[in-house]
Every structure is written in C-alpha cells, then in structure tokens.
Amino acid sequence: MWRDNGVTDSFYAIRSECTDVPKTRFKIRAGKTLSARRWNAAFTQEGYLDMAKMLNRIQRGGIHPSIRGEVWEFLLGCFDPKSTFEERDHLRQHRRAQYARWKAECQEMDSLIGSGRIITAPIITEDGDPIQDPLVLLEANVGKDLPFQENDSPNSDAEDNKTRANTLFDYLSKNPPTSVLDQRKGSASTVPLDKKVIQWKLTLHQIGLDVVRTDRTLVFYEKQENLSKLWDILAVYAWIDKDVGYCQGMSDLCSPMIILLDDEADAFWCFERLMRRLRGNFRCTESSVGVETQLHNLASITQVIDPKLHQHLETLGGGDYLFAFRMLMVLFRREFSFGDSLYLWEMMWALEYDPEIFFLYEEPVLGNEKNNEVHARLKSISQCGKFERENMRNGPKNQENLPISVFLVASVLKAKSSKLLHEARGIDDVVKILNDITGNLDAKKACSGAMKIHKKYLKKAKKT
C-alpha cells in the first residue's frame, strides 16, 4: 500500500493516501552517487578508510540509500576512519551496552520505556503526583492495542477530539486498565520523586505528541514498533542530556536515524552525534533561545552579501530573522521531501567534514566514551570537506566558524531576494514567500549557492 515516486523513494515508501507529499528530486546516478561497491572498496584489509575520496563522491551525487546509515556514522563522527574493523566493532558493542544501561535506568523510573507503547498525555502533575485520569491511564496501558492509533491518519491533528475520547472511554469500560493504575498508586504516590525525574517524566507525553506526528506520510511509521523505538530513543536522550532535555524538532532530526539503522542503540548514537552539533540550537534560557545566535549570524551574512534585502527585512520588522527559525532548527526537513532532506544533510556533512570530528569533543555531552580521548594528529587540508577547506584557507582566526546550514538559509534568501523586495509588504508576506519554496528547492543547487555565499562572505569579512 504505497506510492513509488521513483527509484529512490522506493526506499522510503509513501502511504497511498498521502497525495500532496513533495516529490523527491534526488536520483541515483551511476558514476556520481556513492555506491555500495565503491564504499566497500574504500576500506583496506584492516578496515582503514580513505574518507577524502568518499567526500568527493558524496558532494557530487549523494549516497545510495542502501548504505546511507553506515556512511552517516562516519560523516557524523561516530567512528574514526583511521580505526580498524576490530576497533570499530569493539566501540559499537561498548556503545550498545551503554545505551542498554541508560535505557534500563529509564525503565526503572517508568515501565513504559521499552514496552512497545507510547503516551501522548501527561502521567504526572508538576508536583510529581500520578495522574489517574482514565484517558491517560488507558493510553499508557493499552496504547498499541487501540485500533485507531497504529493506523492514525497523517492529518489526525484536525480530527474530532471528542470522537477520539468517546472511543477511548468505550474501550475503557470493556477493558479497565487496573495494572497501570495500581502500579502508579503503589510507587509514585508513596516515594517523593526527584526534581530531575519529575522534569523528565513531564516531557514523556510531549515526546509522544511529536512522535505520532513525525513523518507520518511514510509507510515505515505505520508500525507501532517503529513509533515506540523513536519515542524510546528521545526519552533516553532527554534523561541523559539534562541541560537540554527534549525540545520540539528533535523528533524530526532523530527519525531518519531510526529508518536508516536497524539497531536502536546505533540509531541513538548517530542521533547523539548529530545533537552534539545542534544542541546549542535547543538550549534555552529565560531570556533567549539557542538558535538566536545563528539567526543573528544569518542577519550579518545577509547584510554583507545583500544589504538591500537586509534593510528591507529590517524595515518590515523582520530584522531578527525569526522567519528562518524552522529551517535552522530542523535542517530544512519541512522544505524538502524526506528523501531530498537526507540528500541535503549528507552533502552538508561531506562539505564541512573535519577528519578530527571524532576527537573534536574533549568533554563528551553524554558520559565518558572509551575512545573519546583527543589524539594529537596534524590535520591535512586534503582530508577535509570543501566547506571546511575554505574555512581553513580564508576563515577568521580566533573565531568560531559558522555552520554551512546558516549559509544555506542565506542562499535561499538570496535566491528569493527579488521576490521579497518587490512583493513583501509585511512579515506575513515574507513567511508566505518562503513557505512557497517547500518541495521546489533543489538540494544540490542550494549547497552550491551556500558555498558561493560562504566564499564571498569570508572575503568581505576579511577586508572589514
């Protein structure tokens, strides 16, 4: 029951009822797309990988979907290309065991973790008291057995909540969920919960609400086990990374990892490595949101490369560039089809690849990893991605380099500059014009545009 938009979409099948999904532009091209044969041939007998050759191929034509997950683990820095097969296998087993320990820790706090179920309603109050609302208990107790949940429509947000509630209460009258009620009465009400535990438990239903809305056009998420796997990973991450916890948008970043990597622990670590790059976007204080720094950088770039557009946006009251918030937070997941967003991501990571990425984080975000010590090794410019090479040659000294994602947004604004200048009379017009790009962007052209702007920005910044 799926609609095939071409060879690449056959790997990410679309539900037959979803007729308004953007078509995938990415095509597998012999001689350009990184194939399984060329990827396997890139390893020596011991397992060392010539990553530089792979970067060039990825930058030209992306990665074949059949090996995408394995290649992403290297692009994101899960593994060092200079390690052997044996060393990587040892590290993988170590990480799987670590994830199992963290998941077990979460299961002790709430037995729904790892149960194959998810929740979309609060299970405790802000004071830590268990919520004994029948609707909540039912979702927690029989979530995966409800007929409407697994086959829920992708547009379920718009469905009648009253009908859903009636269905729940009808089911409840015939199947009273006593086990969960007794369990929560017996534990949560007698032992005061730690504040960190309370905060974590309060996020579980928020994660659930996002999970059931994430990539629901894909056949993959018709299976409850895949939804629960996404929920479990995000719940474990929220517990481990206590500074950030869980924020809306993380499910969009984690979802591809679930699809590309069969093992849940491997998918978790791939997501964790991506979050090391992006977690600053999600870190919030009472006065600011993490992504504001990138929005400020975007404003600076636009002011340099297109001062007229920047002035126009400021006149309209958009000088804070909040209209670009979503693009930066979830890396263009809304602006591209699912397949094209993966193609965009891997090109971005290949372009800004740093061979020391495996050792860049001296202080791990999540615990102590066995192989995380920093190795003193000279970085060869030839082993870097094209974007990173440009930073090394012309980037500002003693200043943090900006990610390619900011230049991607700048390239979109530059491409729409004329339309924005002539048609935008308010922020609503800006948002509408940018929303119209959904499904109409070419990932490769967007990266090429970002690279041109990056080079131009570095040269002008150097002069000033």
pLDDT at 147 over 60: no
Q: Are 132 and 180 in contact (CB under 8 A)?
A: no
Instruction: Give domain status of residue 60, yes or no.
Output: no
Domain assignment of residue 401, given as a range:
292-463
* Mean pLDDT computed over every residue of the chain: 83
Q: What is the mean pLDDT of residues 346-364?
A: 78
pLDDT score at 416: 95
Q: What pTM, to 2 d.p., does this model score?
A: 0.85
pLDDT score at 160: 46
Instruction: Give domain status of residue 77, yes or no.
Output: no
pLDDT at 3 over 60: no
Q: Do 427 and 301 fall within a single domain? A: yes
Which residues make Cβ contacts (< 8 Å) with residue 187, sequence separation at least 6?
none
Instruction: Give domain status of residue 76, yes or no.
Output: no
Q: Do 303 and 433 fall within a single domain? A: yes
pLDDT at 123 over 70: yes
The CATH number for 438's domain is 1.10.472.80
Instruction: Give domain status of residue 39, yes or no.
Output: no
Instruction: Give domain status of residue 408, yes or no.
Output: yes
**Domain boundary, last residue among 222, 251, 280:** 251
Instruction: Give domain status of residue 340, yes or no.
Output: yes
Q: Do 192 and 296 fall within a single domain? A: no
pLDDT score at 287: 63
More confident site: 215 or 396: 215
Q: Do 121 and 193 fall within a single domain? A: yes
Split at pLDDT 50, 70, 90, the class of 131 is confident
Residue-wise pLDDT tens digits, 214-267: 999 999 999 999 999 999 999 999 999 998 999 999 999 999 999 999 999 999
Instruction: Give domain status of residue 186, yes or no.
Output: yes
**Domain boundary, last residue among 251, 279, 307:** 251
pLDDT at 29 over 80: yes
- How many domains, in total, are found in the chain? 2
Instruction: Give domain status of residue 115, yes or no.
Output: yes
